Structure 1
Amino acid sequence: MHAIRTITWLTFREAWRRRMVLAALVLGLLFLLLFGIGFSLINSNMREHGTSALQLRFSYNLLMVAGLYVVHFLTVMLAIFASVDTIAGEIASHTIQAIVTKPVGRWQVVLGKWCGYAAMLMLYLALLSGGIVGTVYLLVGYLPPNPAAVLLLLLEALVLLSLSLLGGIYFSTLTNGVVLFMLYGVAFIGAWVEQIGALMQSHAAVNIGIITSLLMPVEALWRRAAYLMQPTVLNSMPSPFGGTSPPSQAMVLYAAGYAALALGLALLSFRQRDL
């Protein structure tokens, strides 16, 4: 366990020393500032025009979930960009050999790196999602239904992190990144196909969306989180913030198993990888 803790700490420090991660943090803080200013101005304008209390609550919820959608996208990008080079790059530069020749198991190297990046993503997501929800609460005293649903955004980051480490064992950095982005793109399009198919009562379109969610469950986790954090009336139309075909709790369990399986395969595959 000491070796895993050491690699976790070193990975965490390395990740935060990268300018890419620093840039993501700075831009995230800038986004929170702009969100707070924009939300305050919109709220003042609505109150000046005599918007009803019910409409105000719907507007608050819509703006907050829209902000969380940006957080979802930033977390997805950071999960990919921060970890895509961690195995593939070290294999290509042969720096990984300096680690695996020490009395440290290969599986400990992979698990330590996974824990380091997972801690970084958890803190990043806590800062941004907590900033969005906290800003809305401080300004207008509104909390969404099921605010704990933001934890699903952490699960989607862990899915991508596990896939990134697994792909890095077999692919180059560039190929690994392309594969991850393509899978995410397929899931994104499939989610819209499923929502529109549910609205048009097309079972074939819904099934296509389900298949893409099984292939890459990240977008399904976001739709589940957005669905739980919105009133029912706001989930009646297809949009990035809800949907007419919300993923079930079974999809959350599937995504957790998906991440665990990808991590397990990464641990096993790296032991057998010829370095």
Structure 2
Amino acid sequence: MGAVAAIMTLTLKEAMRRRAFLGTLIILVVLYGLSFLPKAFHEAFGGSERRFELGIQLMTSFGIDSIKFFASVLAIVLSAGTITGEIERGYLAAILPRPLHRWQVYLGKWLGVMVFCAVNVVLWSAMLWLSVYLQGRSRPEIWHALPYVLLYPVLYGTLALMFSSFAGTSVALMFTVALGAFAYFADHFLRPLVVFIDAAILQRIVWLSEWVLPMATLKRFVMAEVRLPFTGRIEDAPFASEAVRFFLNPPTRAWELGYVALYILVALLIGGIIFQRRDVQ
């Protein structure tokens, strides 16, 4: 495993060389500043403690969603060019003649990207928790949701790395973003339409999107830990049938996490197999 660790270290250094840490610092500062908005508005305009608590809860949810988004983007950007980019620069052609197996290179690069993204997610989550704590509130759900938030960059980074094993950087980016956009559109736009248009085709598309990219599955696990203080939800609408309400707000099930893990493992294996056969000259 020494070779894997060496490649992982080189990948981390490459991420630092690309100034990825600057993005980390910028997001830290932005999260810290925005998290104090509830306290700033409360002190400037007054209001009840209930409204202040509502603002804290909303900002916590917004902060976690922001961490999910930026961690996914970071993983995609770092992974999409990590194979093809180094082939084009001739780095892989130089190191592969050494006593290194290709699977060691692939696994080391994957671990490097995942470690870098995981450190960022933990730092951002800690900053979000600290800023809320300094306002006199404690939000343990930030830490409860952390394991599921960490799976976002793993999911998207593994997918982008798989595409990078056979395609150029721009194509790998395009494929990964396209799958993410499809999953997001199906969950955030098509799923609510079922309340008004009870069409089986819409439900099938949403169902398919969760198998193609289980982003909505992870979202449900995060939302189970970070509950918004809203009393009225579209899935509670009286004109929706019981089946539709269940479809709009399905429960979290343990086997779904198993599918996410299997999805990541299969994508990692497919990318590794393709990389084994790719010409790096």
1:5-46 per-residue CA deviation (whole Å, 9 max, x = no partner) reads 111111111112212x13311321221232133232134357
Whichever residue aligns with residue 165 of structure 1, its letter is L
Q: TM-score of the superposition, structure 1-length normalised?
A: 0.87
Q: Give the Å deviation of 1:89.
A: 1.2
Q: 2:176 aligns with which of 157, 162, 180?
A: 180
Summarize the Cα distance change of 1:229–1:36 in structure 2 as closer, same or farther, 3 Å threshold: closer
User: What fraction of aligned residue pairs are identical, expressed as a percent?
Assistant: 24
Summarize the Cα distance change of 1:212–1:96 in structure 2 as closer, same or farther, 3 Å threshold: same
Aligned twin of 2:122 = 126
SS in 1 for 2:134: helix
Aligned twin of 1:59 = 55
**Superposition pairs for residues 1-275 of structure 1, below 5 Å?**
1-19=1-19, 21-45=20-44, 48-52=46-50, 55-145=51-141, 147-197=143-193, 199-200=195-196, 202=198, 204=200, 205-230=202-227, 233=230, 236-237=233-234, 244-246=248-250, 248-249=252-253, 250-275=255-280
Summarize the Cα distance change of 1:187–1:11 in structure 2 as closer, same or farther, 3 Å threshold: same
CA distance in 1, matches of 2:248, 2:130: 28
Q: 8 Å contact 2:75–2:157 — kept in the other structure?
A: yes
Summarize the Cα distance change of 1:104–1:232 in structure 2 as closer, same or farther, 3 Å threshold: same
Q: 8 Å contact 1:187–1:213 — kept in the other structure?
A: yes
Q: TM-score of the superposition, structure 2-length normalised?
A: 0.85
The count of residues paired between Structure 1 and Structure 2 equals: 267
* Structure 2: unaligned runs, 5 residues or longer: 236-246
Summarize the Cα distance change of 1:144–1:60 in structure 2 as closer, same or farther, 3 Å threshold: farther
Q: Give the Å deviation of 1:51.
A: 4.2
Summarize the Cα distance change of 1:161–1:100 in structure 2 as closer, same or farther, 3 Å threshold: same
CA distance in 2, matches of 1:101, 1:237: 59
CA distance in 1, matches of 2:61, 2:79: 27
Summarize the Cα distance change of 1:154–1:28 in structure 2 as closer, same or farther, 3 Å threshold: same
Q: 8 Å contact 1:221–1:247 — kept in the other structure?
A: no
1:114-138 per-residue CA deviation (whole Å, 9 max, x = no partner) reads 1111110000001112211221123
Q: What is the RMSD of the two structures over their aligned residues, measured on CA atoms?
A: 2.4
Q: Give the Å deviation of 1:56.
A: 4.0
Summarize the Cα distance change of 1:231–1:70 in structure 2 as closer, same or farther, 3 Å threshold: closer
Q: 8 Å contact 1:118–1:158 — kept in the other structure?
A: yes
Whichever residue aligns with residue 245 of structure 1, its letter is N
